[in-house]
Amino acid sequence: MIEIKNISKSYENKEEVTTIFNNISLDIESGQKIAIIGPSGSGKSTFLSIVAGLDKPTTGSVFYDGVDIHNIPEKELSRFRNEKVGIIFQAFELVQFFTAYENVMLPLSIRSNGQSVKNKISIVDGLFESTNLSHRKNSLPATLSGGEQQRVAIARVLASGCDVIFADEPTGNLDSINGKKILDLLLSFVDNSSKTLVLITHDMNIAKQMDVIYEIKDGQLKIASHVA
C-alpha cells in the first residue's frame, strides 16, 4: 500500500544545512502494524508527518497505491488525507471551540459516504463508551485533562474509518491502566478492520505488539526487531 522511496529531510538557514534523516526507503503492506522507535530528536515525528502527507520531503517520494502524494495538487492531497489517513497527534490537535463529542464527530460530518445520521451517532456513542468518556461528551478540550484529550483524539481517528492510522506516542499522556485499555482498543480496531498502523513509541512493551519494529538513528532507518 505505501512505498517510501529515498526520502530525505533537511532544514536550511543562513549558516548551515541540518539533515534530519537521509535516503530512507520502506514498503508498508496493507494491514501491517509498524512501530518506529529512536532517541528524541531523531526525526520520528518528522518522518511520520511526511508519510502522512502533512509535510514534504526534501527529496524522495511517498506512494499510496502507486500515487505519489507529494506530487498532486493541494486540494487532492487534502481529500486524500481526509479519506485515507487518520493521525493521532502527540499534541492532540483538538478543535478548541468544539465539544469532545463534536471533535469525534468531525471526520464523519466532513465525509459524504452515505452513512445515516443515526449510524454516525451510534459510532461516536460507542467510541465514547469504549474510551470511558461518556460523561465528558459536552466538555470543551480546555476543561479536559491531558489523558482525556488523548482519548478524544484517539476516538476521533477511530471514528474516521481511514485506511491508515498514524499514531505519535498514542498512550504517552495516559496512566498505565488507561494506556493499556486505549492501546487494546486501538489494536483491536486495527486488527478487526484490517487497517494499517504506523506507531511511534518509546515503550518497547508497546513496540513488541507490532509486526515489525524500525529504529531511526543517526539519520537512518533500520529494522530493530521482528515480532513473532
C-alpha cell at 81: 488525507
Give the dihedral sign, CA 104/107/110/115.
Answer: negative
Say what the pLDDT of residue 108 is: 87
CATH value at residue 129: 3.40.50.300
Burial of 139 (0-12, 13-18, 19+ CB in 10 A): middle
- Residue 75: Cβ within 10 Å count: 8
Say what the pLDDT of residue 228 is: 47
Query: Is residue 96 situated within a structural domain?
Result: yes
Cβ atoms of residues 200 and 46 within 8 Å: no
Say what the pLDDT of residue 225 is: 55
What is the number of domains present in the chain?
Answer: 1
Among all chains, which residue has been given the C-alpha cell 463508551? 129
Q: Which residue type occupies 181?
A: K
The verdict on pTM exceeding 0.85 is yes
Query: Is residue 76 situated within a structural domain?
Result: no
pLDDT by 10-residue block (mean), the chain, 228 residues: 95 88 95 94 94 96 96 92 89 94 91 78 94 95 92 91 92 84 88 93 92 94 70
Say what the pLDDT of residue 127 is: 93
Query: Is residue 59 situated within a structural domain?
Result: no
Domain of residue 185, residue span: 31-54+82-226
Query: Is residue 62 situated within a structural domain?
Result: no
Query: Is residue 168 situated within a structural domain?
Result: yes
Angstrom distance (rounded) from CA 40 to CA 217: 10
Query: Is residue 189 situated within a structural domain?
Result: yes
Among all chains, which residue has been given the C-alpha cell 518522518? 47
Say what the pLDDT of residue 83 is: 86
Query: Is residue 8 situated within a structural domain?
Result: no
Cβ atoms of residues 2 and 53 within 8 Å: no
Cβ atoms of residues 84 and 91 within 8 Å: no
Query: Is residue 1 situated within a structural domain?
Result: no
Q: What is the pLDDT of residues 46-97, one digit of tens each?
A: 999 999 999 999 999 999 999 999 999 999 998 898 889 999 988 889 999 9
Among all chains, which residue has been given the C-alpha cell 508519510? 51
Cβ atoms of residues 212 and 224 within 8 Å: no
Say what the pLDDT of residue 114 is: 67
